Structure 1
Amino acid sequence: MEHGQLKRTLKTSDLIIFGLVFMIPLGPAGMYGVYLEPSGGMVALCYLIGMVAMFFTGMSYKVMAQKFPTAGSVYVYVQKGVSPALGFLTGWAILLDYFLMPATVVIIGSIYGNALIPSIPAWIWILGFIIFSTTINVLGVDLMSKCSWVLFTLQIIVIIAFIGCIIRLLLNGSIHFSMISFYNPEQFDLSSILKATGIVILSYLGYDAISTLAEETINPEKAVGKAIILSILIIGLIFISTTFFAGMAYPNYQDLNPDTAFTDVVTFVGGTWLNVITTITLILSFGIATTQASQVAVARVLFAMGRDGVLPKQLAYVSKKTHSPVFATVLVGIIITPISIFCSLNFISSIVSFGALFGFILLNLAVISRFLLHNDESISLQKKIVNYGICPIIGFAVTMWIFINLDTNAHLIGAIWLLIGGLYLASVTKFFKNPVPQLELN
C-alpha cells in the first residue's frame, strides 16, 4: 500500500481558529447546567482558574512545539523529554480524552437537535454527525479548516447578541449588576470549585489539539506555540465573559433546569428568536465543528503512534489524494459511535479530563527535565529560569491540584485505562526486554 504525506497548508490563524472551534466559544452553553451546582454558581471563576492553569502549561507546549514540531503532541513531547515508556503512557492517557471528547460533543449536539426537532431521535442525530464529520475529515484538513472559520464566526455572532441583550436589560433596570459568577459567599467551597474546574478543563483541551497539526502547518516551530498561547487567552476571555454575563442575568441558578440552563437564560434575556438561533448554532458547533476538530486531533495522535510502531502501522497510512490519515480517522468514527449512543453525558463529563491533566503534568515535568536540568543551549539564565523553570513548575502545580480533585470515577477509570496501556506496552516490548519504539527525529 502506497503512502502519501501530510500536507503543510495551515497558517497560524488557521491553527488559532481550529483550537478555538475545538474549545467551542459557545462551550459553556452546552454544559452550563452541569457546572452550576458543583461550582455553587461560580462558573466564571472556574473558567478563570482553568485559563491560568492552561496558560502556564501552554508555555510548556510552546517550548516543546519549537523543539519537536511533529504530529504526536504530548506523546512525542514526553517521549523526548523524559522517556519513551512515559511518552507512550502519556499518549495513551490523552487518547482516553480524545475518544471521549468527540463523543461528548456529539451527545450535546444530538440533545439540542432532538430538542429542536423532537421527531428525529437522538441516535439519528448522532449517526448523522459522525458520518458527516468522518467524511469531511477523510477528504482533508483544508476542507475542515474552511468549515471551522464559518462556524467560529457564527458562534461569535450569537455570543455578541447574547451579551448585547443582557447589557440592554442592565441599562433599563430589568436586571442588576452581580459578581455571583466569580464569588458567591454562601456557596463557596474550594474543593467543589476545584472539582468543577476539573470538568471545565475539558473546554480548554483544544489547545493541545493545535499541536497535533504540526506536520500540516507552515513554519510549525513558530506557528504552533504562538497559536496555542493566543487561543488559550482568547477562548478564556470568551468563556469568562459569557458565563459572567449569564450569572448576572440569572443569579438564582438553583431555579434553572440543569439540562437546558443556558438556553433558559438565553430565552429570558432575548426571547424565542435568540433561543432558536442559539440552539441551531449549538447543534452546528457541537455536532459538526467540534466533532470534526476533535476527530482530526485524535486521528493525528493515532497516526503518530502508528508511525512509531507502538500501535498498528496501518494507523499511519496517509492517502496520497487527500493527504489525510484515512484509517485512523475512520477508526475514530467507529469507536466514538457506540460511546455516543450508549453512554450518558454526565458520566462522560466526569472522567473526560483525566487523560489531558495526566498529560499536562508529565509535559511540564518533561520541560523541566529536558531543558532546565539537562539543557546545553547557550541562552540567558533569566530566560532559562522563566521558560524552563517557573512556567512549567506553576503549570505542574496548578494542574496537579486540579487533577487530585477530579471526580472519583475519573481516577478509577483513568487508572484502569493506564493499567491496560501499561500491559499493552509490556506485551509490545516483551516485558521491556526490547526498547520502546519511538520516532527518530532528523
Structure 2
Amino acid sequence: MLETGQAPPLTSEPSRPVHPLMRRKPVEQLVAEGGQGEGGSLRRSLTMWQLTMISIGATLGTGIFVVLGTATPKAGPAVTISFVIAGLTALFSALSYAELAGSVPVSGSSYSYSYATMGELIAWICGWCLVLEYGVSVAAVAVGWGEYLNELLDGTIGVTIPDAVSAPLGDGGFINLPALVVVLLAMVFLMRGAKESARVNSIMVGVKIVTLLLFIGIGFMGIKAGNYAPLAPLGVTGISAAASTLFFSYIGFDAASTAGEEAKNPKRDLPRAIMLSLLIVTVLYVLVAFVAVGAMPWQDFEGTEAALAQIMTDVSGHTFWGVVLAAGAVVAIASVVFAVLYGQTRILFAMSRDGLVPKVFAKVNPKTGAPRANVVIVSLFCGALAAFIPLGKLADATSIGTLFAFGLVNVAVIILRRTRPDMPRTFKVALFPVTPILGVIACGYMMFSLDTATWIVFGGWMIAGLVFYFLYGIRRSRLATAEK
C-alpha cells in the first residue's frame, strides 16, 4: 500500500487536443497539490475518530430536530419509512464517496473527483452545486437553531425572543438574529484551525447523541399504538415526497471527504469515517422518528419545528425534560452549522487553488493553518441567508443541489474504474457497477420528486454559476495556464 500522500504511477493516455471545457486534472496532480494554498498549507492533524465526528456533526440533528416537523405531515406515521428510503439513497452515494475519498484524498470532495474524471466544466457545475449544498444548508440549519433557542429560553427563564428579530423576512419578522449569531460563533471557532475545531466538534456531537438517546428512552413511554394507524394516510406519493425532503437530513455524511488534506491517514481513514457516520446517523434517525410519531399524532407536527421538545414535555408531564431536549438541540444544531461550514470552506479552498474562484479563498494563515479569509467570507454569506430567508425554501434548494452532486460522484466512480483500473484503492464499491448506477437512478428520482419552485431556484442558481464560470473561471483556470 502506498504511504499517505504518495501518488500512484502515471499511466499513459493518448495525446490528442482537448477542448478547454473537457480538460481533466490528473489524480496525481490533485494529490500532489494537497494542502497547498496561498501563503501557507493545511495541516494533517485529524484522526479517523475526528473525521467520523465531522461527518456526524454535519449530518445528525438537521433532519431529526428541524425538518421532521415539515416531513411528517407529508407521509404521516410512514415518515419512518421515508427516513429509510432517504438513507438507502444516501448509502449508494456514500459507497461511491468512500471509494473516491480513499483514492483521491483531497479537500475538493466531489468537485475534485469530477475534475479528474469528467472535465473542468462538469467539475465547476459540481462545485457550484456544493456551494449550494453546504452554504445554503448552513443557513437553513441556523434558522432551525433559533427555534430551539426560543424553546430553551422560554423553558428556563420565561423569555421568548420577539418575532421581529427571530424570524426572517416572509415569516413575520425582519431578521433572524439567533441564526446569524450561531453562524458567527462557528466562524470564530473555525478560524482557530482544523485540530482545535475538531475537538470542539467532537464534544458537541457527543452531547447531541446523548440527547437523542434520552429522547428515545422517555418518548418510548408515551407511544400509543393508535398513532401509527393508518400507516400511510397520504399513500406512496406522500412517502416519496417526505423522503425527498428528508434527504436534506443526510447531507453531511460526505463532510469527511472535504478534510482529505487535513487527515493523518486519509486513504485508510476517510472511507471508514464516511461509512461509520452514515450507519450511526441512520440508526438514530429511524429510532427517533419511530418514537416521535408514536408519541404524538402526525397531524400535530404541522408547522412545528421544535417537535421533539414538545413531545418530551407532553410525555413526561414536566417542562424540565423539554428544556433538556431543547438545550441538547441547541448544541446539536450548532454542531451541524459548525461542521458544514467547515466543509464549505474546504471546497472553495480547492476551487480557488484551481483558479476557478478568487485566490483569497485559498489563502492559508501560516500560524493556524486555517483559510481565515475564506472562513470569514463564507460565514458572512451564510449568515445573511440565515437572517433573511425562510427555512422551507432553503431546505429543498439544498436537497436538489446535493442530489445532483451525489449523482456526479456515482458517475465519477464508474469512469475512474474504467480509465484507471490500476490505481490503488483502499475501499471499493460493492457490486460494481450496479451500486453506482442505482445511486444515479435514486438521486435522479428524488430530484424529480421535488416541486417546480425548487427546480426554478436550482435552474437560476445554475445559470448564475455558468455565467460566473465563462466570465471568470475559464480564463483564470490554472490548468489552462499550465497548458499554454
What's the TM-score once normalised by structure 1's chain length?
Answer: 0.90
Match of 1:176 in 2: 225
How many Å separate the matches in 1 of 2:192 and 2:429? 44
Amino acid of the residue matched to residue 275 of structure 1?
Answer: G
User: Is 1:124 matched up with 2:168?
Assistant: no
- Structure 1 residues 155-203: Cα deviation after superposition (integer angstroms, max 9, x where no partner): 1222222221233346xxxx338656xx82432233x322221221111
CA contact (8 A) 2:61 2:336 kept: no
Amino acid of the residue matched to residue 222 of structure 1?
Answer: R
CA contact (8 A) 1:138 1:322 kept: yes
Superposed counterparts of 1:223-242, under 5 Å: 223-242=269-288
Match of 2:340 in 1: 294
Which of 303, 308, 321 does residue 258 from structure 1 map onto? 303
How many Å separate the matches in 2 of 1:327 and 1:46? 40
- Superposition deviation, residue 257 in structure 1: 4.7
CA contact (8 A) 2:292 2:311 kept: yes
User: Is 1:273 matched up with 2:320?
Assistant: yes
User: Is 1:149 matched up with 2:202?
Assistant: yes
Query: Which structure 2 residue ranges, 5 or more long, are not aligned?
Result: 1-36, 154-158, 167-175
- Structure 1 residues 332-376: Cα deviation after superposition (integer angstroms, max 9, x where no partner): 1110122111111122122111111000111111111221x3343
Amino acid of the residue matched to residue 362 of structure 2?
Answer: A
How many Å separate the matches in 2 of 1:188 and 1:317? 51
Match of 2:438 in 1: 394
Match of 1:3 in 2: 39
Amino acid of the residue matched to residue 299 of structure 2?
Answer: Q
User: Is 1:137 matched up with 2:190?
Assistant: yes
User: Is 1:403 matched up with 2:447?
Assistant: yes
Superposed counterparts of 1:4-23, under 5 Å: 4-23=40-59
Amino acid of the residue matched to residue 45 of structure 2?
Answer: T
Moved more, 216-225 or 155-164: 155-164
CA contact (8 A) 2:232 2:239 kept: no
Superposed counterparts of 1:9-408, under 5 Å: 9-25=45-61, 27-115=63-151, 116=153, 117-119=159-161, 121-122=165-166, 123-169=176-222, 175-176=224-225, 184-190=231-237, 192-250=238-296, 252-259=297-304, 260-270=306-316, 271-286=318-333, 288-371=334-417, 373-377=418-422, 386=430, 388-408=432-452
- Superposition deviation, residue 436 in structure 1: 7.6
Percent identity between the aligned chains?
24
CA contact (8 A) 2:244 2:446 kept: yes
* Inter-CA distance 384–285: structure 2 relative to 1 (3 Å threshold): closer
* Inter-CA distance 278–68: structure 2 relative to 1 (3 Å threshold): same
CA contact (8 A) 1:30 1:262 kept: no
Amino acid of the residue matched to residue 128 of structure 2?
Answer: W
Match of 2:3 in 1: none
CA contact (8 A) 1:62 1:224 kept: yes
- Superposition deviation, residue 5 in structure 1: 1.2
Amino acid of the residue matched to residue 188 of structure 1?
Answer: G
CA contact (8 A) 1:60 1:387 kept: no
- Superposition deviation, residue 127 in structure 1: 3.3
CA contact (8 A) 2:108 2:351 kept: yes
* Inter-CA distance 385–108: structure 2 relative to 1 (3 Å threshold): closer
Size of the alignment, in residue pairs?
426
